[in-house]
A and B are shown apart, each in its own frame.
Chain A
């Protein structure tokens, strides 16, 4: 269990109780009291959730509400204004950047991540995303949807239990979305969990939903995060 305490500022809302109860229950990912500030604007606050093996949480909210920021905070790429994230196992992130070198072949670019992650499932991953026939094509020739499939293959190669998917169905065709849903279900069945930020509907069983609009700190404009008028946010179920 890796616990990243990202609590930073002195903030006016009530501290959360310790997450002992959640930790014993075998949760893969626990987020507590997360708050996010971009520039001088408090996007949301008081976000709590936990994901166990097989769990899927769908994050919804309008453009710019901070869905990607939430995923980047969970991934440890962005400091949270407050709160803590605990991950039990590796975290894999799929966002709009495939992180695959444009001048290398698909297989070569994936092979690099295989070496970094100490994994060898490149061929199996290419098969799973339907790109096996294009293994020797340089990345720069791929379309948006093909790059997304390649990025999914990178996700599979990493073989991490916690998936953070930021708009995973962007650019994918119908069969691609079906494939994505099947990959997520396989991942859950194998004891993984997924946090999905998406506008497109995904057909997944037992999917929980978290609407970031329920956690908005200040509705608009610039405001001080120390504003005593901010109401206490409700805690997610």
Chain B
């Protein structure tokens, strides 16, 4: 079997079997559940602000898997063994990013439905939110992979990852939240651009970080 297929399949199987897919989903739904308690059960207010809150929840949910993306592979020597075989760090990072987009993105996207129901979002808002998340999640997942590689080998990499990732995710949040508005089509395009940029630089940024972590 092709090396890349084997890598992606392994990463997907690990996302599934290690149960790391449900942690962001549970967090996302918990935020949707708790938000009405915090601002009160005013359905007009919830419908107006709920989609923005879900964008923030998605952003924060993307922080949760950071510690589990590369650290176990590094500790077990898997990254060394892949490098030994001449498999490029960029390729390893790209396979990880692709698997994470699916393993993190698809469950999160599906949980948008119950979350929207919890906040009483209108059908049109839900549609724009779901399309926006579908465009933005590959960027968020890629950013998680980059930050996981950059913080590899650091103590308390989870906290450090949060500090590094959130500022970099600001464009996704701004254009994602903007795309919820009925006149937000240009924001949707910018969201796509920001997401694509993150997807495109991830193999190189994360690959360079993996190489640097190995050659310490």
Which residues from chain A sit less than 8 Å from chain B, CB to CB?
A: 75-79, 90-93, 95-104, 112-113, 115-118, 154
Contact = CB atoms under 8 A, between A and B. Distances in A.
A209 B87 CA distance: 32
B200 interface: no
Contact of A99 (B14, B80, B87): B80
Contacts of A76: 83-84, 86
B154 interface: no
B3 interface: yes
A237 B77 CA distance: 34
Contact of A93 (B10, B84, B215): B84
Contacts, number: 61
Contacts of A102: 72, 76
Given A101-B14, A112-B10, A116-B6, A75 B77 contact: no
B14 A113 contact: no
Contact of B81 (A78, A93, A115): A93
Given A77-B214, A116-B6, A117-B85, 19 more contacts: A76-B84, A77-B80, A78-B214, A90-B85, A92-B84, A93-B80, A95-B77, A97-B80, A99-B76, A99-B77, A99-B78, A99-B80, A100-B76, A102-B72, A104-B13, A115-B5, A115-B6, A116-B7, A118-B1
B82 interface: yes
B155 interface: no
20 contacts: A75-B84, A77-B80, A79-B215, A91-B84, A92-B84, A96-B77, A97-B75, A97-B77, A98-B76, A99-B77, A100-B76, A101-B10, A102-B72, A112-B10, A113-B81, A115-B5, A115-B6, A116-B82, A116-B85, A116-B87
Interface string B81-124: 11111110000000000000000000000000000000000000
Interface in B57-91: 72, 75-78, 80-87
Contacts of A97: 75-77, 80
A112 B83 CA distance: 15
Contacts of A91: 84
A99 B81 contact: yes
Contact of A103 (B1, B3, B17, B83): B17
Closest 6 CB pairs of A and B: A97-B77, A115-B6, A99-B77, A99-B81, A115-B1, A99-B78
Contacts of B87: 116
B129 to A, nearest CB: 34
A101 B76 contact: yes
A154 B84 CA distance: 13
Nearest to B7: A116
Contacts of A99: 76-78, 80-81
B6 A112 contact: yes
Contacts of B3: 115-116
A77 B18 contact: no
A35 B38 CA distance: 62
Among B5, B76, B81, B86, find the residue whose CB has the most chain A CB atoms closer than 10 A.
Answer: B81
A103 B76 contact: no
A199 B84 CA distance: 24
Contacts of B14: 101, 103
Contact of A77 (B6, B75, B78, B83): B83
A49 B5 CA distance: 38
A76 B14 CA distance: 27
A66 B215 CA distance: 14
Contacts of A95: 77, 80
A90 B77 CA distance: 18
Interface in B1-56: 1, 3, 5-7, 10, 13-14, 17-18
Nearest to A102: B76
